Amino acid sequence: LDGDAKYAALLGAIGVETLHGKFAGSVRRVLRERGPTLDAIMFCRHYIASQYVGSVRTLAPNARIVFDTVDLHFVREEREATLHANAAMKQAAAVTRVRELGVVAQSDVTLVVSAFEKNLLAEIAPKAIVEIVSNIQPLVPEPPPFARRQGIVFIGGFRHPPNVDAVVWYAREVLPILRTLLPGVNTSIIGSNMTDGIRALAQPGLDLVGFVEETAPWLNGARVSIAPLRYGAGVKGKVNEAMNYGVPVVATGCAVEGMYLVADRDVLVADDAAGFAAAIVRAYNDETLWNQLSAAGRDNLRQHFSPDAAAPTVRRVFAARGK
């Protein structure tokens, strides 16, 4: 933990001990002191896991190593390299692929967020034990209806390069078209670590809000949520979160990959600027379609991304003691 007292207090309130800063000293110090007593250790993201997985095998010999990929980073990097036709990016993605698969090989079980990623690992790392534990969101109470909503919202942190690219593409390519189709409708961009490059996109109809403490007011107020990602991997929390609040989502194909969503039933999908703008207009103006998408999105969340949906796999992963 990075030492933020607020989050430490929230975890402590539900009985989770947190070790950070001067209380921990270092990961290896904690492993030396507590390693033999640990039943399971979960790593998130390969660049963290690769630093410590060897020490865990030595210092916590009885612990089951669970590698949470969050998303397969090498897939995202390969897609970015292809999008930009960039040889240096392609080479960096190849390095990430080796490192990430190396952690998979050293772990007792690897967690991915979609069947797509599980099937991919089955092809390239057939000896790995892989389980799907995706985004988990408790369903919120009945959200506000169509008539009480207005505007378009994007939510995503800007330390994540696909979000930066998505907002740049939306502002430069989609918004000029949308402005003629939905005059006066505002798009709010919500997210931490907003860059100067993103802020430079400021224009009429684009509200660059930045970080907010709570996203619920925005999701309860927006009529449409957008996910204009041109590359990426994994399951997108921004899509799940919007659907949880009953907000219809307009997305690219990449943004809804592996989420069990059917285009035109659960979500509207378009990969070109004109098609994306037209899809927003459909969802924004057609109340019947809006209600269909809103209900279908919440049903999808309940079936695939709720605590009840995830519980059997989580219990299976952590019930086994040791290796």
Question: Can you give the pTM of this predicted structure?
Answer: 0.83
**What is the pLDDT confidence band of residue 7, given thresholds at 50, 70 and 90?**
confident
- Compute the average pLDDT of residues 267-277: 98
Residue 243, Cβ neighbours under 10 Å: how many?
30
Q: What is the pLDDT of residues 177-204, one digit of tens each?
A: 999 999 999 999 999 999 899 999 999 8
Sort residue 36 into left (φ over 0), alpha (ψ -120 to 50) or beta.
alpha
**What is the pLDDT confidence band of residue 169, given thresholds at 50, 70 and 90?**
very high
Tell me, what's the pLDDT at 321? 54
Which amino acid, 283?
A: A
CA-CA distance, 163 to 309, in Å (whole number)? 28
Tell me, what's the pLDDT at 30? 87
Tell me, what's the pLDDT at 229? 96
pLDDT value at 64 more than 90: yes
- Compute the average pLDDT of residues 73-81: 93
Q: Residue 214 CA to chain centroid, in angstroms?
A: 17
Q: Using the structure block, give the residue that is written with the tokens 């942190």.
A: 157
pLDDT value at 294 more than 50: yes
- Residues 6 or more apart in contact with residue 282 via CB below 8 angstroms: 268, 289
Which candidate, 139, 143, 145, places its Cα nearest to that of 304?
A: 139
Tell me, what's the pLDDT at 1? 47
3-state class (DSSP) for residue 25:
coil
Tell me, what's the pLDDT at 2? 57
Pick the most confident of 43-47, 203-207, 223-227.
223-227
Which candidate, 68, 46, 11, places its Cα nearest to that of 318?
A: 68
Task: Give the Å distances, CA to CA, from 38 to 34, 42, 151, 318.
Answer: 7, 11, 49, 12
Q: Do 162 and 193 form a contact (C-beta atoms < 8 A)?
A: no
pLDDT value at 14 more than 70: yes
Task: Give the Å distances, CA to CA, from 12 to 6, 16, 17, 31, 41.
Answer: 10, 5, 6, 21, 19
Q: Average pLDDT over the chain, rounded to whole? A: 92
Tell me, what's the pLDDT at 24? 66
- Compute the average pLDDT of residues 91-104: 95
Strand partners, 269: 251
3-state DSSP of 208-222: EEECCCCCHHHHHHC
